[in-house]
A and B are shown apart, each in its own frame.
Chain A
Amino acid sequence: MPTDTDHYETSVRERRAEAVAEFADHKPSPLQRVQHALHVTPALVPLIVLLASIVVFGALLGSRFFSPFALTLILQQVQIVGIVAAAQSLVILTAGIDLSVGAIMVLSSVVMGQFTFRYGIPGPVAVACGLAVGTACGFLNGWLVARMKLPPFIVTLGTWQIFLATNYLYSANETIRAQDIEATAPILQFFGAKFSIGGAVFTVGVVFMITLILGLGWVLRHTAWGRHVYALGDDAEAAQLSGVDVKRTLISVYMLSGLICAFAGWALIGRIGSVSPTSGYDANIESITAVVIGGISLFGGRGSIMGSLFGALIVGVFSLGLRLLGADAQWTYFFIGVLIIAAVAVDQWIRKVSA
């Protein structure tokens, strides 16, 4: 009759044998291989979902949806959220979150408009001022996060209100009409300029969004700064110990994010024609939605910026597709909710892969 000790020894022996076998002989199951592939290429899930949803809506709606015209219309509709999501991605990669993105965007667009119309400053200079204001807002966020060591959620919850209030106080909530802008400072509407290739219609804003995301994707992957952003998002302390200047990198991330939001503000004028202080109220939530659906981890350090573009496009495809089907607008929100939860669930599952 085996004693307890025997039993213990056996099990230890067995376990050891198993562990060795796993390294040497076992091939990973197909599921594990998928898990590994997703771990290496995080933008794959949203890309698959995007393509699948285009195919499904294309099958349901035929040429009304599956035309160059409708598909590029989606690009136009998501351009603002897409640009803001790029800014949001940078911050989320550092394990932060930026609730003030929409407020920075609107404030910058108002500065561009009011500088031109209230003070008579030439359009290009006013645009530069707007971009500078956006960058300065980003710097304030970054400084509070990096130097004052305040949590990003709290900092941007505060600055969101501050920037929005500044926007309303400064603009007196006055809309500048599209026709006046067209006559006086057409450069403000630059991002709205469009050109078509075949049936496909592109605007400068759409081209900017795609270029911006491809550019950021390259910078994040192939420059020291980009690797530092990932490193400090993954583990700020380890990054610090291995010689990354965490504070400077953080501040630069928030400043760049602010600048991108200001560009989004410029693109917003192009899209709606006018300067309206009430736009973009939901931009922060919409951008976080795009980023999360795009597979970027809210815990920082993992995800590809391409993912957030796909995330924004998925939302755009669902919105237009469901509207064309004649569904109640509530269904769009319903499915976006489902997608968010599914995306985070997939993220958790991928995290289980041993690195």
Chain B
Amino acid sequence: MKHLFTGTALALITAAGAAQAESHMADVSACLITKTDTNPFFVKMREGAQQAAEEMGITLNAYAGNVDGDHETQVDAIETCIANGASGILITASDTSAIVSAVTQARDAGLLVIALDTPLNPIDAADATFATDNFLAGELIGQWAAAKLGEEAANAKIAMLDLGVSQPSVDVLRDQGFLTGFGIDTKDPNKWGDEDDPRIVGNDVTAGNEEGGRTAMENLLAKDPEINVVYTINEPAAAGAYEALKSFGRENDVLIVSVDGGCPGVANVADGIIGATSQQYPLEMAKLGVEAIAQYAEDGTLPENTEGKDFYDTGVKLVTDEPVDGVDSISVEEGQELCWG
């Protein structure tokens, strides 16, 4: 990961700041508010934040909603942070629009608010956003799948296993990124399911878990048993889809691609169940976030966005053991070193 960040002003400044800040950082505190504290993704995020906070010598308070979508607990947490006199808040919002008023309140009170992983709506409601480029994550697996099929890509039969009918932004970005990477016209890039390319057999929703992945795959296989490319929103959905393919006796001639880079998912890439997955880095997100808050407390510097994007891109890499020309990727071994959960 290191080389991604060397050269960015942020990393240099924070490194320098950390060295001399040790002594007078003790009374600086930061808050981390995640959607839940059970999802391994957020567990890893908290680990990264805790680690960085210890290194910088600042206090970290972690809060989380009870379930994904628990908006009120997050608002309570923001209010607690303001009352606590924290210097900044790192938040993965459950409700990206509704949280804005609480976030504004915190910013008015002089706190630095950084959205982690999930951009707020509008994105500039937070001082900064540290996130995975989900469109790029989808694009990478789309390009990989197209290159893997070669000329056959023109006759592919694609199943799209999405997250949910409400089409949250992550869901849309990954889906549309995949189609773009594969070379399919996405029509309206702000929603999935409006494409009319005959290669798409259909979209179905999985809730991002194994059970949903299996049922959705069965539904689409019943529609067209000759599906040979499967896009999945995340790796649990991919594992479920694989079980369905196995029960249809099709597990060996279908290409499954996914996004996340969790350890069970990368292990599934190693076993050839998933062809390729785009890996994201929650630990890095949180670490950078804590460093940015420390920097802000030190001299008021605001973090900057990645060039050409309206957020700070924390990086995404394609993990596969079957690299193709023209798409950068890392091996499963490297992926396993960087995986979370």
Quick check: is B40 within 8 A (CB to CB) of the other chain?
Answer: yes
| Docked-complex contact A64 and B267, CB < 8 angstroms | no
Q: Are B218 and A273 in contact (CB under 8 A)?
A: no
B220 CB → nearest A CB, Å: 8
Instruction: State whether the Cβ of A211 lies closer than 8 Å to any Cβ in chain B.
Output: no
Main secondary structure of the interface of A (DSSP, over half): helix
Q: Which of B106-114, B170-178, B203-211, B326-334 lies at the binding interface?
A: B203-211
Tell yes or no: B43 within 8 A of A by CB. yes
Assembly CA distance A324 to B38 (angstroms): 35
Are A173 and B222 in touch, CB under 8 angstroms? no
Q: State A280–B210 Cα separation when bound (angstroms).
A: 10
Asked if A168 lies at the interface with its beta carbon under 8 angstroms from chain B, I say yes
Q: Are the C-beta atoms of B215 and A77 separated by less than 8 Å? A: yes
Partner of B243, one of A272, A280, A328: A272
* Assembled-state Cα–Cα distance A45/B135 (Å): 48
Enumerate A173-202 residues with CB–CB distance to B below 8 Å: 173-175, 177-179, 192, 194, 201
Chain B residues in 8 Å Cβ range of A324:
219, 222-223
Interface 1/0s, chain B 214-237, versus A by CB < 8 A?
110011101100000000000010
Q: Do B218 and A77 have beta carbons less than 8 Å apart?
A: yes
Known contacts A272-B243, A273-B210, A177 near B267 by CB under 8 Å: yes
Per the bound structure, the CA–CA distance linking A12 and B211 in Å amounts to 66
Give the chain A neighbours of B236 by CB distance below 8 A. 175, 276, 278
Q: Main secondary structure on chain B at its contact with chain A?
A: helix
| A268: interface (CB < 8 Å) | yes
- Flag whether A172 is at the interface (Cβ < 8 A): yes
Is B243 within 8 A of A80, CB to CB?
A: no
B223 partner residues in chain A, CB cutoff 8 A: 64, 323-324, 326
Chain B residue numbers with a CB within 8 Å of A333 are: 165
Residues of B within 8 A of A274 (CB): 210, 239
Structural contact, B210 and A320, CB atoms closer than 8 A: no
**Contact A80 to B264, CB < 8 A, known contacts A73-B222, A173-B39:** no
Over the window 68-95 of chain A, the binary record of Cβ atoms lying under 8 Å from chain B Cβ atoms (1 yes, 0 no) is 0110010011001000000000000000
Q: Which of A168, A177, A329, A330 contacts B204 (CB 8 A)?
A: A329
**Complex Cα–Cα for A168 and B240 (A):** 20
- Minimum C-beta distance from B116 to chain A (A): 19
Q: What's the tally of chain B residues with a CB closer than 8 Å to chain A? A: 34
Closest Cβ of chain A: how far from B85's Cβ, in Å? 31
State in angstroms the CA–CA spacing of A4 and B207 once bound together.
72
Is residue A228 within 8 Å, beta carbon to beta carbon, of the partner chain? no
Chain B 286-299 interface 0/1 with A at a Cβ cutoff of 8 Å (1 = within): 00000000000000
Are A76's CB and B43's CB within 8 A?
no
Q: Is A329 a contact partner of B205 (Cβ separation < 8 A)?
A: yes
Q: Which residues of the other chain, B, contact A69 by a CB distance below 8 angstroms?
A: 222
Q: Is B210 a contact partner of A272 (Cβ separation < 8 A)?
A: yes
Bound CA–CA A109/B120 (angstroms): 36
Contacts A77-B215, A168-B38 given; does A194 touch B247 at CB 8 Å? yes
Chain A residues with CB below 8 A from B38, complex form = 168, 172-173, 277
Residue A35 at the chain B interface, CB threshold 8 Å: no
Residues from chain A with a CB closer than 8 A to the CB of B210 are 175, 272-274, 276, 279
- Is B211 within 8 A of A268, CB to CB? yes
A173-B40, A175-B264, A194-B247 known; A276 vs B222 contact (CB < 8 Å): no
- Closest A residue by C-beta to B268: A177
Is residue B193 contacting chain A, with contact meaning CB distance below 8 A? yes
Contact A70 B204 (CB under 8 A): no
Q: How many Å lie between the Cα of A80 and that of B211 in the bound state?
A: 10
- Provide a sorted-by-A list of 9 A–B residue pairs whose CB atoms are within 8 angstroms: A272-B213, A272-B214, A274-B239, A276-B209, A277-B38, A278-B39, A320-B219, A323-B220, A329-B165
Across the A-B interface, the 5 shortest Cβ-Cβ residue pairs: A272-B210, A168-B38, A323-B219, A273-B243, A173-B38
